[in-house]
Amino acid sequence: LIITEKIILTISSNFFGESKLEFMMLILVDELALNLRNGVAHGLSQLGNFNEVTANNVLYLFFMLLQFRLDEL
């Protein structure tokens, strides 16, 4: 990881905690999991990938991110 990524991971880990950060990584960037960030950003996702399970995970991530405030760092 580059230094910027390490800093972001450290801040995120301190704010969200290890389990929530791991969940975020699994949903967004883990190649063995949903990998939504890469699939959507690069146009690799098939229409069948967008289902109720994916929608629930995205909503959960959204609500997690609503808790994140820069002034709390």
**pLDDT tens digits, one per residue of 23-56:** 888 888 888 888 888 888 888 888 888 999 999 9
Q: What is the pLDDT of residue 29?
A: 85
pTM of the model: 0.69
Query: Are the C-beta atoms of 19 and 53 separated by less than 8 Å?
Result: no
Q: 3-state class of 34 per DSSP?
A: coil
